Amino acid sequence: MDTRVDEIADRIFRLSTFVPDIGPTGFTFNQFLVDADEPLLFHTGPRQMFPTVSAAIATVMPLERLRWITFGHLEADECGSMNRFLAASPDAQVAHSAMGCMVSINDLAERPPEPMGPDQVYDLGGKRIRNIDTPHVPHGWDAHVLYEETTGTLLCGDLFSQVGDGPALSTGDVLDAAAQAEDIFGATCLTPNTAPTIRGLAELEPRGLAIMHGSSYEGDCAKALMALADDYDRRLDAAR
C-alpha cells in the first residue's frame, strides 16, 4: 500500500491509501493533517496502515510534532492506529467527543483523552478547529465532525463516502457518487435526525469538504450538504 499526500486547503493535507479489493472499484482510506503550531490529525487509519500513514505525515512534518489525534467515531479505520500514534508522538493527546470518551476512549487510549465539548473551539496556532457533535450521523453514538474555521474546511468523516480512486480534490458533483456508495454499503443510520443534522452543517457554508472515503470537494458545499440531506430523507421515507 502507498499513501499519497495532497494539500487540499491551506496547510490541510489529505493522506490517501487506495485499497483495490473493497467494493466494486476499490476504496480510499483518507486521513487529514492540519499543519499548525499544534498539528492535528483527523482519522488515524487502521493499525495495519500505520507504517504508510506515519511515513506520509513525515513528508510534511516530523511525526513527534503531532499534538492532537482526533477521529469522527469509534471504528477501526477511524482510530485503529490511535495508540501507535500516541507511542510515536510523546506530546500528542487523543481528543474525541465527550460521549465517545466516556463510553470507549477513556478505556481504549493509552493516555487520558481530551473530551471535546459541543461547539468547543481549539486554537491550534494558525488554524482554529470547532467541534460539532453529530450523534448517529453518519453512524455511531459518539459521532462528531470538525470545522476548520480559517479555511472553511469541514472535516466531515464518512459523509459523502465514494468508491473508486478519484482525484484528491473534486469540483464536480459528489452526490451521485455518495448515493452509489450508500446503495452498496448502507452505512448511514437513517433516523429522523439524520437529515436535520446535515442541514445544520450546511448552515456553516463551508468552502471545502474533507471526505474520509473518496475525493474531497471544493465548491458549493452548502448546496451539496442540503442535497445529501434530501437524499437521506427520501431513503428514510422509503424505509418506513
SS3 5: strand
**Is pLDDT above 90 for 161?**
yes
Q: Is 140 left (phi over 0), alpha (psi -120 to 50) or beta?
A: left
Looking at residue 217, what is its pLDDT?
Answer: 98
Cα-based torsion angle of the residue sequence 123, 128, 129, 130 in order, rounded to the nearest 10 degrees: 90
Share of the chain above pLDDT 70, in %: 100
Nearest to 113 by CA among 142, 139, 92, 140: 92
Distance CA 146, CA 71 (A): 9
Q: Do the Cβ atoms of 175 and 227 come closer than 8 Å? A: yes
- The mean per-residue pLDDT over the stretch 221-238 comes to 98
C-alpha cell at 28: 480510499
Q: In sequence order, what are the residues at sequence separation of 6 or more whose Cβ sits closer than 8 angstroms to the Cβ of residue 181?
A: 23, 161, 162, 163, 187, 213, 214
CA 58 to chain centre: 20
pLDDT tens for each residue of 93-115:
999 999 999 999 999 999 999 99
Whether 76 and 46 have beta carbons less than 8 Å apart is answered as yes
The SS3 of residue 79 is helix
Look at residue 26 and tell me whether its pLDDT is greater than 90: yes
Confidence bin at 193 (pLDDT 50/70/90): very high
1 band by pLDDT with thresholds 50, 70 and 90: confident
* Model confidence band, residue 199 (pLDDT cutoffs 50, 70, 90): very high
